[in-house]
Amino acid sequence: MQIERGYMHKFDYSFLDNGMLPSQLVNVTASISSLKSSSQFRKNSFEKIFTELEKIAKIQSVKSSNEIEGIVTSDERIIQIVQQNSAPINHNEQEILGYRDALNLIHSEYQNIQFNENTVLALHKILLSATDYNYGGIYKSDDNVILEIDSYGNKKVRFAPVPANETKMAMEQLFLAFMDANSNSNINSLLLIPCVILDFLCIHPFKDGNGRMSRLLSLLLLYKYGFDVGKYISFEEQINKNKGLYYLSLKESSENWHESSNTYFPFMLNFLTTLYECYQNLDKRFAIVNSNKITKSARIEATVLNSLLPISKSEICKILPDVSPTTVEAVLGKMVKNGIITTVGSGRGTKYIRK
C-alpha cells in the first residue's frame, strides 16, 4: 500500500527553548529532578537493596512491555526466561527473550551506547533475534498503518506513519534534530526525550516491534541523562497500568504530525507523569523496606503485596536484609492462612503472590 505525501514532517525541537511551556510540564519536571536527587543518594548508600529492586523491575519490564503488544506467557515462564534459566518454547517466548536481551544490553552498556541509526538498528535486531523473522535490524520495506477497531469490530486507520521509501530519511532527520537540541544547553533533556520518542512512533520505522523499541529507547535516553529509576521500578509496567491514557496522549500528539502542526505536550505530560510515578513508587518502596518506624511484619506484608510477580522467601530476605528468615516465614504463613496471599510452586521453589 503506497501512501502519497508531498512533504515530510519537520523535525525541530527548538520550541523547547522558547520558555512558553505549560506550567504542568514545568512542575512535573521539577518534581522529578527533586526525587532523582534523593534516589541517587539512597542508591549509593543502600546498594544491596537497589540490586534486588533491579532484579524485580527487570522481570516486570519484560513482562509489561510485551504484554502491551499482546505477547504473553505465564509469570513463572517470564521469571525463568529473564533469569536465563530456560529456552523459549513458543513464538511469544521468543519475542520475550529478545526483549530481555535488548534490555540487558541497555542496563549494562547505556553509558557507551549512542542514540543513532546504528544503535536503533542493532537493538531491533536483538529484539527479533530469537524469532524466525528475517527483518530484524532492517527498516520496513512496505508502508504500514496503525489501525483502530471500534466496539463493533470495524477497522479504520488511526494513523498513517511515514511511507517506507521515506523512512530512512525521516530517521536521519530525527537523529540530526536530536543532536541539535541536545547541544543546546537551554533545552532540558527530560523534555526532549518524549518528543523524540513521539516522533519515532510516528515514523514507525519497522515492520514489527515499534512499540517495544520505543520503550527500550525511552529507557536508553533516560538512563543516559541520569534518570535511571526504570532500573528499579518498571517504567513499562507503569505504562501498561495506564495504557488507555498513554494511547490517548499518543493520539492527541500525533494529530497533524505530518503537517508539522501537532502539539507534543499531551504525550510529553503523559511520559513525564509516568516517570514521576515511578520515582514516587521507588520512594514508597524504599520507605517500606528501609524504615525502622514500620514493624517488620508490616514491611514483609508490603513487600509481598507490592510485587506483581510471585516472590520467594529468599527474595524477600534480600530486599529486607535486617529481617530474619524465621520472621519472614512466620508472616508469610499467617498471610496464607488469612487468605491474603497464595503460594505458587512447592518446596524450595515456593513463591507468594497477592490472592
Beta bridge partners, 37, equal none
Q: Which helix (H) or strand (E) holds 88?
A: none
Q: Return the closest-CA partner of residue 304 out of 346, 349, 336.
A: 336
pLDDT tens for each residue of the chain, 355 residues long: 334 444 589 999 999 998 889 999 999 999 998 888 878 878 877 787 788 889 889 999 999 999 999 999 998 899 899 998 899 999 999 999 999 999 999 999 999 999 999 999 999 999 999 999 999 999 999 999 998 888 888 888 889 999 999 999 999 999 999 999 999 999 999 999 999 999 999 999 999 999 999 999 999 999 999 999 999 999 999 999 999 999 999 999 999 999 999 999 999 999 999 999 999 888 777 766 666 667 888 888 888 887 767 889 988 888 887 789 999 999 999 999 999 999 998 888 899 988 8
Distance of alpha carbon 337 from alpha carbon 331, whole angstroms: 10
Alpha-carbon span 329 to 299, nearest angstrom: 13
pTM to 2 decimal places: 0.84
Residue 133: predicted pLDDT: 96
Query: Three-state DSSP class for 300?
Result: helix
Please, what's the b/e burial string for 237-262 (b: 16 or more CB within 10 A of its CB; e: otherwise)? bbbbeeeeebeebbebbbeebbeeeb
Residues composing the chain:
355
pLDDT, position 289: 66
- Grid cell, residue 19, equals 520558555
Closest CA to 54 of 304, 291, 282: 282
DSSP for residue 344: E
Dihedral sign for Cα 25, 30, 31, 35, please.
Answer: positive
Instruction: Tell me, rounded to whole angstroms, the distance of Cα 317 from its chain centroid.
Output: 27
* DSSP secondary structure string for all residues of 238-286: HHHHTHHHHHHHHHHHHTTTTTT----HHHHHHHHHHHHHHHHHHHHHH
pLDDT of residue 2: 39
Residue 333 CB neighbours (<10 A):
10
Contact 96, 209 (CB under 8 A): no
All 3 cell numbers of residue 20? Answer: 512558553
Q: What is the pLDDT of residue 290?
A: 67
